Structure 1
Amino acid sequence: MIAITRPTLLLNEKQCKINIQRMADKAKRLNVQLVPHFKTHQSSEIGEWFKAHGIENITVSSVKMAEFFARSGWSNITVAFPFNMHEIPAVNRMLNQNVKLTLFVVNTGVIDRLNEELEAPVNLFIEMDAGYGRSGVSTKDIAKVKELAALIEAGSMTSLYGLYCHPGNTYHAHSVEEIKNIWAGVIQEMLAVKTALEPDGASLKIRVGDTPGCAMVEEMEGVDEIGPGNFVFYDLVMNYLDVCTESDIAVAMACPVVAKNEGRNEIIIHGGAVHFSKDHLFDENEERFFGEVVVLEEEGWSPILGGIKLVSLSQEHGVLRATPEVFEAIEVGDILGVLPIHSCLTANLMKSYTTLNGQEIKHLESF
């Protein structure tokens, strides 16, 4: 096994590639285009693994990320975030390098600025909110959608590509059936908006992007494209939603044990909020926790251990609370694996990956 000296984000490359293949195969089976979101891995090398499945178009969450992947050779990129007009110069740089960009808009002012300042045309999604309540135009506000669509089509530098929805409320679902019901409602509302835009709306694409729905929903009639991201690694949120199994999770944090407190049956690891983030879940007893413990092995890691959880994080410290039996079995100097709650944030904080054979894979923030 590779030598671990400090918190290290381990990547099971084999499992990661299986996750990619599974989603690519599903998209083909359901006749939708997979435009994967690269915000989770943010790695040019991992991005290359998608090309084996014919992926040419990708999604990112920032203009900075778009620039990174454009430098890595990707030439058709959707920036899935309400466009920040202050980044028009960066967009122009990419457009002048023949990168095809699709941006999100939710208000008229941004559309006006794009048409005034862009040096080459872009496609636009109108971001829709079908009940999640984050960003986007409400699917009920047809007048607003029509206003945006007309302004986009009237512009010399903007073309309306489609309608995009991120139904993030699936992350708060209590069952797979609820995830499917949320998606059914989203599709119905998106199709109603598209119909309201006809005849011009007939050619518009509908894209929906969230891993719980994209992984679990089998009825996607009316959806043209999907843009999930977390599926590349999965994590405990997805496992607790029954969206993935433990064995689907492709990343684990390797953390050295640095101290033990017998009076409290607590074990201190080097692995804190600066490594994991402070995202958390609640167990069956409504106790908050920040990660599940596994035993690191040559070919990956064990199933989740019972009797121990990561229950507290400060900047560099992680506190594991264990049953007496598990506490006694762990020694100072051991290296434990911890499955993350939210792999996207953990990867962003760690800024690189180490494969099971010791290869370093860089992340956007590595540079």
Structure 2
Amino acid sequence: MDRNIARLRNRLDGLGVSLRPHLKTAKSVEVARCVMNSPEGPAMVSTLKEAEQFAAAGVRDIIYAVGITPAKLARVAQLLEGGVDLAVILDTVEQARAVAEVSRQTGVRIPALIEIDCDGHRSGVRPTNQVQLVEIGQALAAGAELRGVLTHAGDSYRGGGAEALQHCAEVERLAVVDAARILQHAGLPCPVVSVGSTPTAHHATDLMGVTEVRAGVFVFFDLVMAGIGVCQVDDIALSVLATVIGHQREKGWIVTDGGWMALSRDRGTSKQTVDQGYGLVCDVNGTPYPDIIVADANQEHGILAARAGSNARLPDLAVGDRVRLLPNHACATAAQHGSYNVVRGSSHVVEAHWTRFGGW
């Protein structure tokens, strides 16, 4: 984990931009303190529960990364009144008007960023839609605070190699830089120009006009990121320690107690060149068994088997032996657990237990 954090920090320092880590992956105060620039932030969250938990731990500079709705604005205003600089995101005039209205009612100017759609992946305003951008900006200016623009290159998760990811990063950059220019030409402020995804953060070569980069899963990495080529399997800092509970030798199975309740149902590698099933199987020290995967998973049972089409042989594991399972999606696997057991290198000594929280 330490190495992963240092890798991205050094890269962004070289490009002259700051890092705003997305804390949704870890949802842990201890991990947050390892990755933020300071105990006060900056930080990105995906739920208001995260914002409240991290605010209680002293984080003061937060962006809430999911499109805001009117019913959530009372909680946002409460955090702002408590001294937290919490910005929201939106992509419609209706949202902007609601934010401005609550700002006027409470006397608290709620900061908001306009979400830009850089690749058609999810939500946001297209940077070519000048009329909508300016209308949203003007609606915010009537009571709230237009903080800037932000985008997320979701298409980067399709991979395609280094050149394709560099292209995604440049498309991402141009989208927000163009949107910021439109707002500024309309006489509207745009101090923050924010981009972010782990693949583009690791492949951007030019961040001219960008003020910050957001990324989250880079802290732990996972098999999806390894499949895209953003990291190596050895960089994955999160694993589930499971125990062998039986064998079905005629089927070529080893059965563990690491089912989908421990790993999640995420099958994010299923469309990649190498399908890792529900996870990649390693020995207790974290060294992968070649082509041995969690081929299937029930609620509390994991089925270890050789990858289809390979010549791999099952390891000689007895009931009670332990294996480490590397996750497809670190966010989803971490969400199955209430805390992290912290170990260093090849040591099995648990140095600390870091609490993890969930909820909205």
Aligned to 1:10: none
Contact 2:5 2:219 in 1 (8 A): yes
1:313 aligns with 2:297: yes
Aligned to 1:291: 279
Contact 2:146 2:189 in 1 (8 A): no
Displacement of 1:29 in angstroms is 1.6
Contact 1:257 1:270 in 2 (8 A): yes
Aligned to 1:231: 218
Aligned to 2:147: 161
Give the strand-richer structure, 1 or 2: 1
1:20 aligns with 2:8: no
Deviation sequence 1:267-296 (CA, Å, 0-9, x none): 111112222122221488775611111112
Displacement of 1:100 in angstroms is 0.7
**Distance in 1, Cα, partners of 2:312 & 2:34:** 42
Displacement of 1:138 in angstroms is 1.9
Q: 1:96 to 1:190 in 2, by over 3 A?
A: closer
Q: 1:362 to 1:198 in 2, by over 3 A?
A: same
Deviation sequence 1:94-113 (CA, Å, 0-9, x none): 11211111110111222222
**Distance in 2, Cα, partners of 1:179 & 1:318:** 34
Contact 2:114 2:148 in 1 (8 A): yes
Counterpart AA for 2:132? K
- Match runs of 1:1-367 below 5 Å: 16-51=1-36, 56-118=41-103, 119=106, 120-153=108-141, 155-156=142-143, 158-199=144-185, 200=187, 203-280=190-267, 281-282=269-270, 289-297=277-285, 301-302=286-287, 304-322=288-306, 326-327=313-314, 329-356=316-343, 357-358=349-350, 359-365=352-358
Counterpart AA for 1:316? E
Aligned length: 346
Displacement of 1:55 in angstroms is 7.1
Displacement of 1:125 in angstroms is 0.6
**Distance in 1, Cα, partners of 2:34 & 2:275:** 38
Displacement of 1:354 in angstroms is 0.6
Counterpart AA for 1:117? V
Displacement of 1:28 in angstroms is 1.8
Tell me the C-alpha RMSD between the 2 structures. Answer: 2.2
Q: 1:215 to 1:285 in 2, by over 3 A?
A: closer
Q: Normalization by structure 2: what TM-score? A: 0.90
Counterpart AA for 1:218? T
Counterpart AA for 1:31? G
Counterpart AA for 1:46? V
**Distance in 2, Cα, partners of 1:93 & 1:54:** 21
Give the ranges of 4+ consecutive aligned residues of structure 1 lying more than 6 Å apart after TM superposition.
52-55, 283-286
Q: 1:204 to 1:283 in 2, by over 3 A?
A: closer
**Distance in 1, Cα, partners of 2:271 & 2:91:** 38
The gaps in structure 1 that reach 5 residues or longer are 1-15
Aligned to 2:346: none
Instruction: Name the SS for the 1:39 alignment partner.
Output: coil
Displacement of 1:25 in angstroms is 2.1
**Distance in 1, Cα, partners of 2:83 & 2:273:** 54
Instruction: Name the SS for the 2:239 alignment partner.
Output: strand
Counterpart AA for 2:325? V
Give % identity: 26
Q: 1:198 to 1:274 in 2, by over 3 A?
A: same
Q: Normalization by structure 1: what TM-score? A: 0.88
